[in-house]
Amino acid sequence: MEITEVKVFPISEEKLKAFVSVVFDRCFMVNDIKIIQGREGLFISMPSRRKKNGQFKDVAHPLNNETRKQIEHRILTEYHHLIGDSEASEAKAPAPATAEKAEAPEPEKVEKPEEAAKPEKPAAEEGEAKSVEEVAEIHLRDSFWTS
């Protein structure tokens, strides 16, 4: 399995630092991964939903610790790179258990006709923290479920 794309959407909240989307092998996307500030540093929280009894259950998650560490390392490295904290990314992001494969070049983004027609509101600078509502709008706009 190869992580082929990581998109980080910084948030300006006390504990919730960002939402993340990850693409695996250019064919499978997981959205709504969260970067959380814990007592011992940053960690990731996989997408989850609330059950009827009020507890949360992961919707998608790694099946072993090695895979979790690889995903967390890649996400936190990208987060630190985006916010301009490259020294901290190497110190705080756990190292993956196996050597990462060389990254393939990113596929070209093809602009959809309806995207070109939409007037864009001024975007926040890359790496700038956004509100939860702004991130939700970005996720919805990037989702293949919307047309």
Percent of the chain with pLDDT over 90: 52
Q: Burial-class residue 18 by CB neighbours within 10 Å (0-12, 13-18, 19+).
A: buried
Q: What is the pLDDT of residues 64-91, one digit of tens each?
A: 999 999 999 999 999 999 988 644 544 4
Cα 142 from Cα 21, distance rounded (Å): 10
130 versus 6: which is more confidently predicted? 6
Q: Which residues contact 117 (CB under 8 A, 6 or more apart)?
A: none
Quickly tell me which residue has 């990113």 as its tokens. 106
Q: Helix, strand or coil for residue 71? A: helix
DSSP-assigned letter for residue 15: S
Give per-residue pLDDT as tens, 17-45.
999 999 999 999 999 999 999 999 999 99
Task: Assign 3-state DSSP to the chain and report helix, strand, coil percentages, each to 5.
Answer: 30, 30, 45
Would you give the distance in Å from CA 79 to the centre of its chain? Answer: 8
Nearest to 2 by CA among 20, 22, 21, 25: 25
CATH 3.30.1120.40 fits 3-142, yes or no: yes
9-18, 99-108, 126-135 — most confident range: 9-18
CA gap 70, 128 in Å, rounded: 25
pLDDT of residue 98: 42
pLDDT the model gives residue 105:
44
